[in-house]
Amino acid sequence: MSALLELRSVGISFGGLRAVDQLSFSVAEGQIVGLIGPNGAGKTTVFNLITGVYRPTNGEILWQGSRITGLRPHRVAALGIRRTFQTIRLFAEMSVFENVRAGCHLGVRQHWWQGVLQLPAQRREEAELAERTHAVLRRLQLETHANDLAVSLPYGLQRRVELARTLVGEPKLVILDEPAAGLNDAESEALNETILGVRASGITVLLVEHDMNVVMKVSDHIVVLNFGRLIAEGDAVAIRDNSAVIEAYLGREDEEAAA
């Protein structure tokens, strides 16, 4: 398996704070990779670095072997990388359908003047976009909510709309930032199935998640971060037994004794 995405000694500082430091890991094509770590470990920052929201202070990010360090977000998206956000970012004044259709943006071929003049080619394309959007809505069981205002839906459904918005663009890699946050047990169980289904359709997944049930069950490979540094990586079993990981999450035993 070749590395789809690779980080090489990537680091970023905010003021004096070293948020991510000398971080290297790679995501192999077709895998589900979980990125975990205690609060403030820098997980979301890593996502922002990959997607071009932040520019790393040092290090390199490689996509299928070529450098993508410092590309602006829309260029990163054009490579086939899509993401969701920890705090859901749906378009507030749009329906579920419109939100998901937004994910088609990069595939749209019409020129602005074709749209403004409503030429036949543009109208045909509009119909295609609608069809693609509805297909994804059906796949994620969102069809009945297509005309609802997206932000008026319950939390779990909003997360699913955000996921649908990434999938409709037929990405190669989907980056999910805490997809299980705020979900109940049944919902997070269903999420597991969805994530596995995403991989089954040939899409690589990188996710940050606090819900260990989700991470341990779906991840092929887990990367553990603490204070912006990599402290361990491996499969679920290896991570579960790793002393550095246990220490990072639970604190050291002598510390607890002292407290």
Partner 1 sequence: MGTFVQQVFNGLTVGGIYALIALGYTMVYGVMRLINFAHGDLCILGAFIGLTLLSGAAGSGHPGVALLLLAFVLAIAVVAAAGVLLEFVAYRPLRRADRLAAVVSALGASVLIENGIMIVWGPNVHVFPSGLLPETVWHVAGAAITFVQVLIILASVVLMAALYVFVHHTKFGTAIRAAAIDQDTARLMGINVNRVIVTVFVVGPALGAIGGLFVGVYYREAYFTMGWVYGLYAFIAAILGGIGNIPGAMLGGVLLGLFNAFAAGYISSSWQDAITFALLIGILLVRPTGLLGERVAEKV
Partner 2 sequence: MTVPPARGILAYRNEAIGALLWALGLALPAVLDSSWVAVAAIFAIYAITALSEDVILGRGGMFDMGHAVYFGIGAYVTAILNTEFGWPIFATLPFAILAAAAVGALLAAPLIRLRGDYLLVATIGFNAIFVLAMQNNLAGITGGSDGLTGLDVPVLFGLPLESQSAMFWLDWVALGIVMVLMRNLDRCEFGRTLRYLKQDELAATTLGVDARAAKTLAFAVGAGLAGLAGTLFAVQLSTVSPTSFVFTESVTLFAIVIVGGKGSVPGVLLGTALMFVVPQFFRQFATYRYFAFGFAMIAVMVLRPQGLWPRRIQNE
Binding site for partner 1 (CB under 8 A): 44, 48, 53, 85
Residue 101 and residue 104: Cα distance in Å, rounded?
A: 5
89 is a contact residue toward partner 2 (CB under 8 A): yes
CA 34 to chain centroid, in Å, comes to 10
- Shortest gap between Cβ of 88 and partner 2 (angstroms)? 9
Choose the one of partner 2, partner 1, none that binds residue 116, judging by a C-beta under 5 to 8 angstroms depending on kind.
Answer: partner 2
Choose the one of partner 2, partner 1, none that binds residue 22, judging by a C-beta under 5 to 8 angstroms depending on kind.
Answer: none
149 is a contact residue toward partner 2 (CB under 8 A): yes
Site string for partner 2, 159-178 (x = CB under 8 A): ------x---x---------
- Shortest gap between Cβ of 204 and partner 2 (angstroms)? 17
Map tokens 């970012």 to a residue: 89
Site string for partner 2, 210-239 (x = CB under 8 A): ------------------------------
Segment lying near partner 2 (by CB under 8 A), choices 97-105, 178-186, 189-197, 206-214:
97-105
Q: Kindly state the helix (H) or strand (E) to which residue 27 belongs, with its residue range.
A: strand 17-28
For residues 33 and 221, the answer to whether their CB atoms sit within 8 Å is yes
- Cα dihedral 52→21→175→66 (10° resolution): 60
Segment lying near partner 2 (by CB under 8 A), choices 16-24, 26-34, 117-125, 235-243:
117-125
110 bridge partner residues: none
- Shortest gap between Cβ of 43 and partner 2 (angstroms)? 17
- Shortest gap between Cβ of 22 and partner 2 (angstroms)? 26
- 221-226/32-36 β-pairing: parallel
- Cα dihedral 44→49→53→54 (10° resolution): 110
Q: Read off the amino acid at residue 26.
A: S
170 HSE (CA, 13 A, CB side): 8
For 32, phi then psi, to 5°, come to -110, 115
Range 35-64, binding partner 2 (CB under 8 A): 51, 53
Taking each helix axis from N to C end, the angle separating 155-167 and 185-200, rounded to the nearest 10 degrees, works out to: 10
Segment lying near partner 2 (by CB under 8 A), choices 19-27, 108-116, 179-187, 240-248:
108-116
For residues 9 and 178, the answer to whether their CB atoms sit within 8 Å is no
Segment lying near partner 2 (by CB under 8 A), choices 36-44, 62-70, 90-98, 230-238:
90-98
62 bridge partner residues: 6, 67
68 is a contact residue toward partner 2 (CB under 8 A): no
Provide the binding-site residues for partner 2, judged by CB under 8 A: 51, 53, 72-74, 76-78, 82-83, 85, 89-95, 97-98, 101-103, 105-106, 108, 110, 112, 114-118, 122, 126, 130, 147-149, 152, 165, 169
